[in-house]
Amino acid sequence: MLYYPNLRTVAAVVEFHAAKQPDTPAIVCSGRSLTYAELDRESTRVAHAIVAAGLRPGARVAYLGKESEHYYEILFGAAKSATVLVPVNWRLTAGEVDHILRDSGTELLFVEHALLDVAEKIRADLPKLGTIVELDKHYADWKADQPDVKLAPDTGPDDPIVQLYTSGTTGLPKGVVLAHRSFFAIRDGLAGAGLDWIDWRAGDRSLIGIPGFHVGGIWWAMQGFNAGITNVAMPRFDSTAAVGLIRELGVTTVCVVPSMLRLLLAEPGVGPADFATVRKIVYGGSPIAETLLKEAIDVCGARFAQIYGLTETGNTAVCLPPDDHTPGSPRLRAAGRPYPGVQVKIIDNAGAELPAGQVGEVCLHSPARMLEYWGNATATAQTLVDGWIHTGDAGYLDDDGYVYISDRLKDMIIVAGEKIYPTEIENALTKHPAVAEAAVIGIPDDRFGEAVCAFVALRPDQQTGRRDLMVFLRDHLAAFKIPARFEFLEHVPRNPSGKILRRELRDRFWRDRDRQVN
């Protein structure tokens, strides 16, 4: 297993591998590639240009664009200049981008030409934003005359390196500040215990399926860079392109969210031969349907590992190892067990720790946890308590210490006093042969307080209706959990990390009410 314990900061990673294996491709994207030597040189030039633009250590540098080799040059350039990278979701509206740039106090923005109008609309109202670099036209010239003489940033494992904004499914996004250690702590725990749950081997080629503005994407990419292997990026996830890259480049490791996995398996004519080089698939970011996981195991023939965590925990804190991916095993319903060095506890509403088997809030204590919510001490104190991240997820532990996630606490539905978790119903619905995906919410009900409403997207050329689904669910759910209402959609709305946008589904039912519970 490739492991370099001396690497403790992001800047040190690219410098180390540039010296050790200069000609190894570090990043491949859209037919272009950079070796570790080239990535080291170009990121050094970026760092000098950032300093020349007047930014001091700790200043925020934002990136608004799709995945490319430039994104990783800028990540390492920020590390070498001791500044903090703020990746921005390119799908956001101008108002949402404005919030992130304003909240972070961004001083330098890298932006794609296609998104330049968004930046220019809000620039006048952002006094700290002094420099905008257009990636398509000006980026190469902006850094070209800078020296490639090594900088020596005065940073350590506990200094900030990235500021990632939460998806904002329940309100304005908050800036999660992560230190360098967030990208090394889990690696160290696994290596110290001799575990290969997530491992790297010489010659590995890793597909980065999750976008870099999401913690899963940047964390996964950094694990590949830490190991000195070749990382394969796509400007945006496309299942047809992904299958082609896996086959043509001999990809060996893949990280995706379940919705991406579903799209890969739905590609016309796809089969085991397309995944012949893949030895491990890591998935997470949202719950996975048992039927989808079984299909993926059958088709891909790879070892699977599930990861669970939050942006606030520095990405993964819990893992369901490959050895637990046994068909028919009840552990396939678990999120996994904590990595070495990570602790888990389940608490009730009063903060008391609960015994195994009882559902409460999942709390995680991880060495990779966030430093803070940027500029938001109140929210930080609510989420980060005595070193424990309060996840807002409902779940329980079994007698062996495995974590089972029931749902988001805020997504829990209460029907006549009975607590119902949407994920359980969604998993049952996707067992129906006609159902591709499902989302469940609670809607107002004058008699029972709330009623269960299911949004269902069908597989191509499949048909079913409300009555058929209700009959089907009788064999899988208690009667009070069966949805009272069904709506059929072309697809279930999700954010880029694959999480269901329940707020979008709930809005028309709850918008005229004083409270969002009944």
pLDDT band of residue 245 (cuts 50, 70, 90) is very high
- Asked if pLDDT for residue 226 goes beyond 60, the answer is yes
Domain residue limits at 97: 10-306
Report how far residue 135's alpha carbon sits from residue 126's, in angstroms, rounded to the nearest whole number. 20
What local confidence, expressed as pLDDT, does residue 346 receive? 98
Q: Confirm whether 374 is domain-assigned.
A: no
What local confidence, expressed as pLDDT, does residue 169 receive? 46
Closest CA relative to residue 211, chosen from 260, 174, 253: 260
What local confidence, expressed as pLDDT, does residue 1 receive? 87
Tell me how many domains the chain contains.
2
68-111 pLDDT, tens digit per residue, is 999 999 999 999 999 999 999 888 878 889 999 999 999 999 99
- Asked if pLDDT for residue 516 goes beyond 60, the answer is no
What local confidence, expressed as pLDDT, does residue 477 receive? 84
Do both 53 and 186 map to the same domain? yes
Question: 455 with 439: CB under 8 angstroms?
Answer: yes
**End position of a domain, from candidates 249, 278, 306:** 306
pLDDT band of residue 168 (cuts 50, 70, 90) is low
For all residues of the chain together, what is the average pLDDT?
A: 92
Question: Domain with 494 in it: what CATH number?
Answer: 3.30.300.30
- Sequence-ordered list of residues with C-beta below 8 angstroms from that of 66, at least 6 positions apart, any chain: 90, 112, 211, 235, 236
Two structure tokens written together for 362:
């999942």
Question: 106 with 84: CB under 8 angstroms?
Answer: no
Do both 300 and 418 map to the same domain? no
* pTM for this predicted structure: 0.84
Report how far residue 63's alpha carbon sits from residue 51's, in angstroms, rounded to the nearest whole number. 17
Q: Which amino acid is at 505?
A: L
If one counts every other C-beta atom within 10 angstroms of the C-beta of residue 45, the result is 20
Q: Confirm whether 406 is domain-assigned.
A: no
Do both 302 and 435 map to the same domain? no
Q: Which residue has the higher pLDDT, 82 or 480?
A: 82
* Residue 273 exposed, middle or buried by CB count within 10 Å (0-12, 13-18, 19+): exposed
264-297 pLDDT, tens digit per residue, is 999 999 999 999 999 999 999 877 878 889 999 9
- Sequence-ordered list of residues with C-beta below 8 angstroms from that of 463, at least 6 positions apart, any chain: 434
**End position of a domain, from candidates 271, 306, 341:** 306
Do both 106 and 226 map to the same domain? yes
Report how far residue 266's alpha carbon sits from residue 77's, in angstroms, rounded to the nearest whole number. 38
If one counts every other C-beta atom within 10 angstroms of the C-beta of residue 76, the result is 24
Q: What are the residues facing 451 on neighbouring strands? A: 443
Do both 299 and 417 map to the same domain? no
Q: Confirm whether 362 is domain-assigned.
A: no
pLDDT band of residue 132 (cuts 50, 70, 90) is very high
Report how far residue 490's alpha carbon sits from residue 467's, in angstroms, rounded to the nearest whole number. 19
> Which H or E run includes 177?
strand 175-179
407-434 pLDDT, tens digit per residue, is 777 787 878 666 687 888 998 899 999 9
Do both 175 and 297 map to the same domain? yes
**End position of a domain, from candidates 306, 335, 365:** 306
- Sequence-ordered list of residues with C-beta below 8 angstroms from that of 478, at least 6 positions apart, any chain: none
pLDDT band of residue 385 (cuts 50, 70, 90) is very high
What local confidence, expressed as pLDDT, does residue 412 receive? 79
What local confidence, expressed as pLDDT, does residue 171 receive? 57
Report how far residue 203's alpha carbon sits from residue 353's, in angstroms, rounded to the nearest whole number. 45
